[in-house]
Structure 1
């Protein structure tokens, strides 16, 4: 079934992206709170749609395709807005490092998506299925980004700095998981193609 509850939650996550962008740029002292709340809501729907799909046995090819697309769109939108924001640029330890980290994360998503598509063409998609490290990478991104979006201290905790450090950890996990996928796919990448 195309429109089951997990798929509706995934579509909701995609629909939240424009609302999240508008909230982030809204000229209000509450904009950071609203943007953070929308991102957290989207992250929770990511967990919930997967949980419900497995529990109710409502997995589908459409959901398997759309779920990672929704995640990547939300993360990419947040990271691009953060790296372009002068408020963020003024608070990061080093804006060049921050920009490189964002590039690594977005570049990895493009690379792994292309790798999975190519492996599907050669009938080896299962060799590059989502790994445990990839799941930890996703969780670390989904935790780091709300901390960066909040942009204020909370109970004397340096929330933004914690988010920045978590994002650097996510970038390291991003590279590690990409290497795992490339290693799994490497024999197929260098094998001569049949005429």
Structure 2
């Protein structure tokens, strides 16, 4: 197994640790974040999420630079992204930091696009991610990171930056999903 795939697998292995940090009520105290208090475990989870998200860029860059792109990597990389983002969004809903309806829209789009990619793969077609899809991922990661930090540093000014970015991520997610299906509908139409 090559280095980019190992990095991707490490991202997947970080997800249960992230979930535990967000879910288990550790009594490590809190950090003052403006009007809200941020539990230390949530700060640790946010840092872990940011590190895990960064590995997405690292493994892709390394794989392209050293010509180490593999079918396993093409499968694992988007899977790792979807698992990490879905876990984070669901935990944000549980913590009352994100509206459930937005999370449902985002995760539904991810399942739909994954389904389309699976149908295409069955036909021997590889559907590449679009630039809009990359923007979607970036906005989702920024929104999640800020919300995991309970809107720090914007909480001091009472500015709901994390929520605004989450709405922007949701809009781009829906538009990019529509665009993805519109451009690749022939795969569904022509599948055997």
**TM-score under structure 2 normalisation?**
0.86
Match of 2:13, SS?
Answer: helix
Identify which of structures 1 and 2 has the higher relative contact order when contacts are C-alpha pairs closer than 8 Å and 6+ apart: 2
The structure that is helix-richer by fraction is 1
RMSD: 1.8
Question: How many pairs does the alignment contain?
Answer: 179
How much has 1:154 moved relative to structure 2?
2.3
Q: 2:13 aligns with which of 12, 15, 22?
A: 15
Instruction: Answer yes or no: is the 8 Å Cα contact 2:119–2:187 preserved in 1.
Output: no
Q: Which residue of 1 aligns with 2:188?
A: 189
- 1:100 aligned residue: 101
Q: Deviations over 1:109-163 (max 9, x none)?
A: 100000111122233x34x32100001100111111010001154273547x211
Q: In structure 2, what is the equivalent of residue 53 of structure 1?
A: 63
Q: Give the structure 1 partner of residue 153 of structure 2.
A: 154
2:128 matched to 1:118?
A: no
Q: 1:75 to 1:119 in 2, by over 3 A?
A: same
Contact 2:116 2:188 (C-alpha < 8 Å) held by counterparts: no
Structure 2 gaps of 5+ residues are 31-39
- If each structure's strand is expressed as a fraction of its own residues, which one has the higher value? 2
Could you say which residue in structure 1 is the equivalent of 2:133? 134
- Aligned residue number for residue 35 of structure 2: none
Contact kept? 2:92, 2:148, Cα under 8 Å: yes
Q: Which aligned pairs between 1:57-68 and structure 2 lie closer than 5 A?
A: 57-68=67-78
Say whether the 8 Å CA contact 2:119–2:188 is kept in structure 1.
Answer: no
| Aligned residues of 2:4 and 2:63 also touching (Cα < 8 A) | yes
Cα distance between partner residues in 2 of 1:176 and 1:9 = 30
Normalised by the length of structure 1, the TM-score is 0.85
Distance 1:188 1:70 in 2: 24
